Amino acid sequence: MEQNVIDSLAINGGAKTIIRSFPWPVYDESDVQAVADIVRSGKWGDPDCADRVEAFERAFADYCGTRYAVTCVNGSVSLRLALMACGVKPGDEVIVPPYTFIATASTVLEVNCVPVFVDIDPDTYNLDPAAIEAAITERTRVIVPVHFAGQACDMDAIMAIARRHKLRVIEDAAHGHGAEYRGRKLGSIGDVGSFSFQSSKNLTSGEGGIVVTNDEALYRMMASLRNVGRIEGGQWYDHYNPGCNYRITQMQAVLLSQQLKRLEEQTRIRDANGRLLNELLSGIDGITPMRRDLGETLHCYHLYMFRYDPAAFGQLPKQRFVEMLAAEGVPCSAGYPHPLYRQPLFQQKNFMCYAIPETVDYSQVYCPVAEQACRDEAVWIFQHAMLGTAADMELFAEAIRKIQRVVA
Ligand SMILES: *Cc1c(COP(=O)(O)O)cnc(C)c1O
């Protein structure tokens, strides 16, 4: 290979394909003013005041099309609240995907239940409904579909399975703010929808989380658990349920209300850019966009994912490809290096929980699609880059073609 061709890659000192940066979080003076007003008011949080928290909860529930919403400190605690409210008992099984953030499974251990890993679909990297059905036992109580990357899971199939087996469904929509499945907002379809407002997420206040539901009993329990077990109308020192202080501040609430005003437009920009990128990348040998015809009427692209085939890139390992792509100026990552069940937490059974049967053994778990996604295939482009222009999307495709020209 000629030296000057190799040198043209940005990683080797050549010119970058994309010069601009992609700011995140997005804010302006109105956000600064909203937080400053709360600071000056001295009304920073409960027990004295929560009016801004309640206003945001109302606004987010309305946005999702649900009756209720309960904010909490993060998108892990929100999963925990949902699981507790669903009434799981020690040793119950909860079905989770292996291609997700740790909290989807670790919160199951926190409530003394057994995470059961079920493989993902290679075309979407979301839970495969057929595999869910095959994993159900008499101990199964809950399914936790993760709308990974902001792409809707096959909710019609999942809800049908849940109804057939009398299971609860908790949607982990930590990637799914604003996205839709057959015209319904993600998080509003199962028994509970859980969201994170951590700083990388599509709606953020630095940290934070929320659960949404249409079920009044689930709502009351989650609200109580979030507020040290107090109940609506109860006294300050009357604690009914084993909750904790998981409340957010008024500063977070006003920031979230501000950010929520931008969410729908940002989501539509990412969706349009994602559709464009799908077209552009389909023309590149060895690059396969995720499938997009399974009911996701609006995709919020928390991540834009595609499948990478090293064979079309001179056997260049995925990790090296991603380093080259990042050097070209595309904000990207190789994603999870291995499926969740390979974590020491599961392999060494560091559960700190005594309700998990001795027979549970994660050393035998093997989900081939998740393994392949982690090892060779999955490449992530981050959501803030999907807020760019159509011209930026053309350049993302050009950066991939440039790498291919050099290495293939
Ligand atoms: C971020 C995330 C969470 C948890 O969110 P935190 O707010 O960081 O606790 C849960 N599930 C998934 C899939 C996530 O990506």
Q: Ligand 1 centre and the CA of 75: distance in Å?
A: 5
Contact criterion met (CB below 8 Å) for 74 and 196: yes
Q: Which residue owns the Cα nearest ligand 1 atom 13?
A: 101
Q: Ligand 1 centre and the CA of 174: distance in Å?
A: 5
Contact criterion met (CB below 8 Å) for 301 and 175: no
Question: So what's the pLDDT on residue 2?
Answer: 62
pLDDT in tens, 347-397: 999 998 888 988 899 999 999 999 999 999 999 999 999 999 999 999 999
Question: So what's the pLDDT on residue 343?
Answer: 98
Q: Ligand 1 centre and the CA of 286: distance in Å?
A: 31
Question: So what's the pLDDT on residue 3?
Answer: 66
Q: Which of 80, 104, 256, 303 to mutate to test the pocket of ligand 1 (most atoms within 8 A of CB)?
A: 104
High-pLDDT (> 90) share of the chain, %: 94
Average pLDDT over residues 9-18: 96
Q: Which of 107, 170, 172 to mutate to test the pocket of ligand 1 (most atoms within 8 A of CB)?
A: 172
Cβ 126 under 6 angstroms from ligand 1: no
Cβ 74 under 6 angstroms from ligand 1: yes
Cβ 104 under 6 angstroms from ligand 1: yes
Q: Which atom of ligand 1 is nearest to the CA of 104?
A: 11
Average pLDDT over residues 321-331: 98
Tokens for 17? 């394909």
Q: Cis bond leading into 47, ω under 30°?
A: yes
Query: DSSP states of 338-380 as a string?
Result: S-GGGSHHHHTT----S-S-TT--GGG---HHHHHIIIIIEEE
Q: Ligand 1 centre and the CA of 139: distance in Å?
A: 26
Question: So what's the pLDDT on residue 193?
Answer: 99
Three-class secondary structure of residue 194 per DSSP: strand
Question: So what's the pLDDT on residue 47?
Answer: 74
Tokens for 293? 């015809």
Cβ 195 under 6 angstroms from ligand 1: no
Burial (0-12, 13-18, 19+ Cβ within 10 Å), 229: middle
pLDDT at 408 over 60: yes
Which architecture, in CATH terms, is 3-25+261-407?
Answer: Alpha-Beta Complex (3.90)
Active-site amino acid positions: 101, 172, 175, 198, 201, 230, 237, 247
Q: Which atom of ligand 1 is nearest to the CA of 196?
A: 7
Rounded Cα–Cα distance for residues 408 and 404 (Å): 5
Q: Which residue owns the Cα nearest ligand 1 atom 5?
A: 75
Model confidence band, residue 48 (pLDDT cutoffs 50, 70, 90): confident
Domain-by-domain residue ranges, the chain? Answer: 3-25+261-407, 29-259
Q: Of 3.40.50.720, 3.20.20.100, 3.40.50.2000, 3.40.640.10, which CATH number belongs to 29-259?
A: 3.40.640.10
Question: So what's the pLDDT on residue 353?
Answer: 81
Cβ 171 under 6 angstroms from ligand 1: no
pLDDT at 1 over 60: no
Average pLDDT over residues 117-121: 98
High-pLDDT (> 70) share of the chain, %: 99
Model confidence band, residue 151 (pLDDT cutoffs 50, 70, 90): very high
Average pLDDT over residues 292-315: 96
pLDDT in tens, 27-38: 999 999 999 999
Instruction: State the chain's mean pLDDT as an integer.
Output: 96
Directed axis angle between helix 318-327 and helix 390-407, to 10°?
Answer: 130
Q: Which ranges of 166-290 does DSSP label H, i.e. alpha helix?
A: 216-226, 250-282
Question: So what's the pLDDT on residue 258?
Answer: 98
Average pLDDT over residues 136-157: 98
Q: Ligand 1 centre and the CA of 283: distance in Å?
A: 33
Q: Which atom of ligand 1 is nearest to the CA of 74?
A: 7
Q: Which residue owns the Cα nearest ligand 1 atom 6?
A: 75
Q: Which atom of ligand 1 is nearest to the CA of 79?
A: 10
Contact criterion met (CB below 8 Å) for 60 and 260: yes
Average pLDDT over residues 216-233: 97
pLDDT at 249 over 90: yes
Q: Ligand 1 centre and the CA of 77: distance in Å?
A: 9
pLDDT at 275 over 90: yes
Cβ 200 under 6 angstroms from ligand 1: no
Q: Ligand 1 centre and the CA of 222: distance in Å?
A: 18
pLDDT in tens, 333-349: 999 999 999 999 999 99
pLDDT in tens, 179-217: 999 999 999 999 999 999 999 999 999 999 999 999 999
Cβ 196 under 6 angstroms from ligand 1: yes
pLDDT in tens, 95-118: 999 999 999 999 999 999 999 999
Torsion angle of the four alpha carbons 4, 6, 11, 17, in this order, in degrees rounded to the nearest 10: 70
Question: So what's the pLDDT on residue 375?
Answer: 96
Q: Which atom of ligand 1 is nearest to the CA of 76?
A: 9
Q: Ligand 1 centre and the CA of 311: distance in Å?
A: 33
